[in-house]
A = this chain, B = another copy of it.
Amino acid sequence: MESVFAILAEPNRRAIISLLISSQQSVGEIERRLRMPQPTVSKHLRVLRDAGFVEATVDAQRRLYRLKPEPLQELDAWLAPFRQFWPTHLDALERHLDRVEPPIPTKQKTRRGK
């Protein structure tokens, strides 16, 4: 479970991280808001903490978890060399995201005009 990507591959972990954007949260708050069993939350938080995505402060029995930026910055750094490929600007992306990619027929070479 080394890489930043492997950590983020888990949807529930991404949900937790996204939830923490607004502010720090206790385990119980995360549990309620994401409707996730408590052990599940704790286990994912453990993974996220070990990977440096979050840190916790102890508040009596509660633990308040908050984001740490470093791993996400690392992700951004990884992404950087690819930015040269992007078309002009963000508008093309939004068009793409709402569309389903059609399957690619490998059969014949139909040449179609546009």
Contact = CB atoms under 8 A, between A and B. Distances in A.
Given A5-B14, A6-B9, A83-B104, 17 more contacts: A5-B9, A9-B9, A17-B82, A21-B81, A58-B109, A67-B82, A73-B86, A73-B90, A73-B96, A73-B97, A74-B96, A75-B75, A76-B83, A77-B90, A77-B94, A81-B101, A84-B104
Interface of A: 3, 5-6, 8-9, 11, 14, 17-18, 21, 49, 52, 55, 58, 67, 69-70, 72-77, 79-87, 90, 92-94, 96-98, 100-102, 104, 109
A97 B77 contact: yes
Contact of A93 (B18, B58, B73, B101): B73
